[in-house]
Amino acid sequence: MVRKTTVLGLAAAIAAVAAQAKADEPSATITGVEDRALREAIQRALTQSDGPPASRSEARRRARDAADDAVAVLRAEGYYAYVVDPDVTETDPPRGTVKVTPGQLFVIADPRIDWSGAPPDEGVRERAFSVLGLTEGAAGRAAEILGAEGRAVAQVQKLGYADAAADPRQVIVDHADHTVRPTFVIAAGDLVKVDGVDLSTKGRTRIEWLQRLAPWKEGDVYDPEDIAELERRLRDTGVYDTVSVALAPKDKATPEGLRPIQVTLSDRASRTLELGAGYSTSEGPGVDAKWIRYNRLRRADTTTITTRVAKLEKSLEGSVALPHWGRPQQTLKLTSRVFADTTDAYDETGATLSADLTRRLQTTRYRTYGLSVDLSQTQERTTANGLPVGQRLNLATFTALGAYAWDYSDNILDPRRGWRVEARAEPTAITGETSLVYIRTQAQGSAYIPFGKEADTVLAGRLKLGAMLGGTMPEVPASRRFYSGGGGSVRGYSYQAIGPRLSDNTPQGGLSLFEGSIELRHRFTQQWGGVVFIDAGAVGTEPTPNTRDFSVGAGFGVRYDLGFGPIRADIAFPLEKREGDSAFQIYLSIGQSF
């Protein structure tokens, strides 16, 4: 039996397969390859030329170059008994040709791992071999052999041997039985145990907080996933421009042999100012200003002061968000707010204090618990002896919150695929000039289905349901009831215009809510798009709305993409017009309607 031993130039072969320059024609014509996939792979790898050869010698040189390209592909695909014959045609001008006979496909046999230096323990050796993924009898492709080596080294590193590296591999190509026998050589090095965090940059972050954030304890065996997790946790805070987390080199080990983890942080600008504006014919203009300060407490916190001035609402709010509070992936948000709302249904002034604790269970799943207290004075309309009368209520409202949210959409401001669901329940106790206990429940979902080769068309749908359990009309204060109508609910109607009204046409609100929307979005160019939509909504005085409560609006709009999200301009018409309703409504804002 004749054996030929070769240390394969696998990396060079893969590079030759991938190399393809844009030009007019291939350097030569390939013949003799019956397998379509193999033939196309060779053709993609050929050096390209910008025109026909100027002479026979030039055509012959191109044919030889094409033969070299073909050989690289054949070896990369597991064909080692090939015959490749470059030639030149007798045409004018002459052209290079390459006749290829691939021969028999060589297959994987007896893959092995040898250890350079002291081997790791038996369990690590077994795990490294198990991830090779090379099946005996499968095609001996270069890419799969390279991939197997990479997986084995990565597995050894993951099991604590951080310095593991591949030494030169040996691959035996056996022409007697048409097999490829790879032997990988891995230098495992020593088992590495980690120390604490070494913050190598001077910034606004306290090292004590950073050390508590690390997902390992001093003396734990090195795991690259722990390093990656710390980096993710730091990036998730949103207060750093760049984050780098890496194992310190050997010469930085402690006298006990532990290796610290080096963290490099680059703080973003400590303060930013954000401005926003919107307009609708039903709600009038509104402007927002946010002043944000990052890492003021030196633990990746965010302090936000927001002021809003609009026709319906004036407010000033301050909040502090503390990421990874108490445990990783958990954010505590403390908020205080003073407000003055002026609506058709009620006028309310007051102040609110709240605390919300949000836990990210997975990348797209969130759970929130919260508590709030609200001190307010409300002026509203009610009915006495069949006539609408005004009343003033001074109230203290205590609310608990439980919410669960899933967000599998691909974009916050302009979703094009996926779905979102949120459900929340708010047990509420009111005291003051009236006393009442009830639970306000609400659920909302939306879905986005793209169409077309470039997904330029999106069918979007939204459904929202709400109900109050334990409350009655008119005992529930007007400011706590459900309302519908306006740019964020049913377009075509004024804010709060849908649902029951008093005899003087004042919106009454209700104990139940239904809203649904269907929107067809199409992008005509990279920046411009358009939509058509139908919205429907109902507010009922009972736990569920009935058919007479429904109102429907329809319309169309345009979108202009700013890069981070679209500007939205919609015009909508009420299809169930009542007294006081306008013939149409216009809405301007940033982001899709849902």
* CA atoms of 383 and 78, how far apart (whole Å): 87
Is the pLDDT score of 297 beyond 80? yes
- pLDDT tens digits, 143-187: 999 999 999 999 999 999 999 999 999 999 999 999 999 999 999
Q: Check whether residue 378 and residue 438 sit in a common domain.
A: yes
Tell me the one-letter amino acid at 114. D
Is the pLDDT score of 12 beyond 80? no
Q: Check whether residue 295 and residue 324 sit in a common domain.
A: yes
Q: Encoding tokens for residue 291?
A: 């002043």
Q: Percentage of the chain surpassing pLDDT 90?
A: 74
Per-residue confidence band for 566, with pLDDT thresholds at 50, 70 and 90: very high
Is the pLDDT score of 534 beyond 50? yes
Q: Check whether residue 477 and residue 413 sit in a common domain.
A: yes
Q: Check whether residue 347 and residue 439 sit in a common domain.
A: yes
Is the pLDDT score of 115 beyond 90? yes
Q: Is residue 166 part of a domain?
A: yes
Q: Check whether residue 399 and residue 474 sit in a common domain.
A: yes
Q: Is residue 177 part of a domain?
A: yes
Among 59, 74, 101, give the residue marking a domain's end.
101
User: What does the pLDDT read at residue 4?
Assistant: 39
* CA atoms of 81 and 87, how far apart (whole Å): 20
Q: Check whether residue 177 and residue 240 sit in a common domain.
A: no
Is the pLDDT score of 5 beyond 80? no
> What's the CATH number where 351 sits?
2.40.160.50
Q: Report which of 198, 118, 119, 131 is spatially closest to residue 158, judged by C-alpha positions.
A: 131
Tell me the one-letter amino acid at 30. I
Q: Encoding tokens for residue 62?
A: 């191109």
Is the pLDDT score of 41 beyond 50? yes
Question: DSSP letters along 366-428, please?
Answer: EEEEEEEEEEEEEEEEEEETTEEEEEEEEEEEEEEEEEEEEE--S-SSS--SEEEEEEEEEEE
Long-range contacts of 214-218, Cβ-Cβ distance < 8 Å, separation of 24 or more = 214/261, 215/328, 218/194, 218/258
Q: Check whether residue 121 and residue 242 sit in a common domain.
A: no
Kind of pairing between the strands at 512-523 and 346-362: unpaired
Taking CA 124 as the corner, what is the angle to CA 123 and CA 128, rounded to the nearest 5 degrees?
A: 120
Using the CB atoms, write b or e for 237-260: b if 16+ within 10 Å.
Answer: bebbeebebebbeeeeeeeeebbb
Which range of residues forms the domain containing residue 174? 107-187
Give the residue-averaged pLDDT of 530-554: 89
> What's the CATH number where 47 sits?
3.10.20.310
Q: Is residue 537 part of a domain?
A: yes
* CA atoms of 41 and 32, how far apart (whole Å): 14
Count Cα atoms within 13 angstroms, Cβ side, for 87.
10
Among 139, 163, 187, give the residue marking a domain's end.
187
User: Which of 45-49, 260-264, 389-393, 402-406 shows the lowest mean pLDDT across its residues?
Assistant: 45-49
Q: Is residue 15 part of a domain?
A: no
Is the pLDDT score of 25 beyond 80? no
Is the pLDDT score of 118 beyond 80? yes
Q: Check whether residue 525 and residue 583 sit in a common domain.
A: yes
Is the pLDDT score of 391 beyond 50? yes
User: What does the pLDDT read at residue 205?
Assistant: 95
Q: Check whether residue 79 and residue 143 sit in a common domain.
A: no
Q: Check whether residue 259 and residue 381 sit in a common domain.
A: no
Q: Residue written as tokens 């005004």?
A: 390
* CA atoms of 552 and 572, how far apart (whole Å): 10
Kind of pairing between the strands at 585-590 and 107-108: unpaired
- How many helices, marked H, and strands, marked E, lie in the chain? 7, 29
User: What does the pLDDT read at residue 387?
Assistant: 82
Number of domains in the chain: 4
- pLDDT tens digits, 64-104: 999 999 999 999 999 999 999 999 988 888 888 999 999 99
- Burial class (CB within 10 angstroms; exposed 0-12, middle 13-18, buried 19+) of 392: exposed
User: What does the pLDDT read at residue 258?
Assistant: 96
Secondary structure of residue 206 in the 3-state scheme: coil
Q: Is residue 240 part of a domain?
A: yes
* CA atoms of 495 and 492, how far apart (whole Å): 10
- pLDDT tens digits, 470-488: 988 889 999 999 999 988 8
Q: Would you tell me how many other CB atoms lie within 10 Å of the CB of residue 382?
A: 16
User: What does the pLDDT read at residue 93?
Assistant: 85
- pLDDT tens digits, 249-291: 999 999 999 999 999 999 999 999 999 888 878 777 889 999 9
Is the pLDDT score of 15 beyond 60? no
Among 157, 187, 217, give the residue marking a domain's end.
187
User: What does the pLDDT read at residue 24?
Assistant: 59
Q: Check whether residue 494 and residue 586 sit in a common domain.
A: yes
Per-residue confidence band for 385, with pLDDT thresholds at 50, 70 and 90: confident
pTM of the model: 0.79
* CA atoms of 291 and 298, how far apart (whole Å): 18
User: Which of 190-194, 557-561, 574-578 shows the lowest mean pLDDT across its residues?
Assistant: 574-578
Q: Check whether residue 314 and residue 428 sit in a common domain.
A: yes
* Residue 209 dihedral angles phi and psi, to the nearest 5°: -65, -40
User: Which of 12-21, 305-314, 392-401, 559-568 shows the lowest mean pLDDT across its residues?
Assistant: 12-21
Say if CB 448 and CB 417 are below 8 A apart. Answer: yes
User: What does the pLDDT read at residue 400?
Assistant: 98
